[in-house]
Chains A and B, each alone.
Chain A
């Protein structure tokens, strides 16, 4: 298909950019940047931990946007977007929890603790795993898209409430590294540490969009197969 060629090329460039920026970010974070004054070398996990949770949050926001658009306009592409973003969000959330455990063991002394932000992340994983299970258990594609979109919206609306409740429940996690309400980003974290962090965040976002475009294409192809099958059976 000639029309698909430029898209494919652009996707390739996106992938290459993601790969290069991750390589730079990791090299900077693991080799160039100085170790943390208190936590030492182990703090370098931050350069993966924070970018992956940001990528996960962005994915869930995209699920919400895709779901809203699908409920409104009923176009297949919005549903494919929501479905793809949910899968990638679950991937990044799982990564965040694994990295967090590895970081938590030497700094807090435990693999897991029922702190507010950890709990919220785990609940997000549960909600969106449920979303994916729901999709896989409904055979009728349009029906699945429709109810999954409702779940995508409700899940997202529930997040602030869950956030509030688990925060009142307990908090132990270190405060946010970059964005704090009454301080500028560069006052919370020293420049040598902030630069690799920002590079890694950009790299993970590039990776997110690369994976999203791949997964989106997969969704489109599945749709094409489905319509062809339908045409043949008619």
Chain B
């Protein structure tokens, strides 16, 4: 119970900061939209061809915007030695990990909720009724991304050139999530339902569960100074 209370408290702190400054959310949202334009100019394909590439393009956009958010995730705590203060307080480190992951998840969730419909509008795609299902798969993938991303963001915290290093260590580890979400979305878009992609979805769920557990258990080793 104490654990959940601490998590919510930390999450509230981050949300309040974000609400006042709106740094991460605005940059992520703007960058995500910008990527859609860049994709559109670089491919310039008819709608039926774009439909095949939609999952891949969307996930590229989410990966890049998500990484942008992750580099900022602990940046707030570095100012005025906030991180040291957090570590001195009698907090469970697992709660800190969970709060940070949830915060980044919430940001990405908001960005995705806008970018996905925008993608459909900009590329003149059909099949609006599939969006809720696609969004659900995206959400599961985003959980995996945020969980592992939070760990990696903390790991690279004290490294030189950490913004450059983060994607280098994160992306290879993210390959199961990238493959699973894109295959699930492709199946949904071609068949209208998940059908054969169930095993991919299970893989995705397994990934989420494993790394949430690993994160909660190992975060004090990562963050200690």
CA distance A182 to B224 in the complex (A): 48
A218 interfacial by beta-carbon distance below 8 Å: no
CA distance A168 to B152 in the complex (A): 26
Q: Which residues from 138 to 163 on chain A have a C-beta closer than 8 Å to any C-beta of chain B?
A: 138-140, 143, 146-147, 149-151, 153-155, 157-158, 161-162
The reply to whether A137 and B222 form a contact with Cβ atoms under 8 Å apart is no
Q: Which residues from 157 to 194 on chain A have a C-beta closer than 8 Å to any C-beta of chain B?
A: 157-158, 161-162, 164-166, 168-169
CA distance A193 to B106 in the complex (A): 58
B21 interfacial by beta-carbon distance below 8 Å: no
- Tell me which of B154, B158, B203 contacts A138 (CB under 8 A): B158
B175 interfacial by beta-carbon distance below 8 Å: yes
The reply to whether A149 and B221 form a contact with Cβ atoms under 8 Å apart is yes
Interface residues on A, range: 20 to 34
How distant is A172 from chain B, measured CB to nearest CB, in Å? 17
B165 interfacial by beta-carbon distance below 8 Å: yes
How distant is A93 from chain B, measured CB to nearest CB, in Å? 13
CA distance A138 to B152 in the complex (A): 14
The reply to whether A137 and B169 form a contact with Cβ atoms under 8 Å apart is no
The reply to whether B203 and A161 form a contact with Cβ atoms under 8 Å apart is yes
- Tell me which of A133, A143, A153 contacts B165 (CB under 8 A): A133
B156 interfacial by beta-carbon distance below 8 Å: yes
- Tell me which of A134, A150, A153, A165 contacts B203 (CB under 8 A): A165
Counting from the closest, the 6 A-B pairs by CB-CB distance are A126-B172, A130-B169, A137-B159, A165-B176, A161-B176, A147-B155
Q: List 25 interface pairs A-B (beta carbons < 8 Å), by A numbering.
A: A71-B221, A123-B172, A127-B169, A130-B168, A130-B172, A134-B165, A134-B169, A137-B162, A137-B165, A138-B158, A138-B159, A139-B160, A149-B221, A150-B151, A150-B218, A154-B148, A155-B173, A161-B176, A161-B207, A162-B176, A165-B179, A165-B203, A166-B175, A166-B179, A169-B183
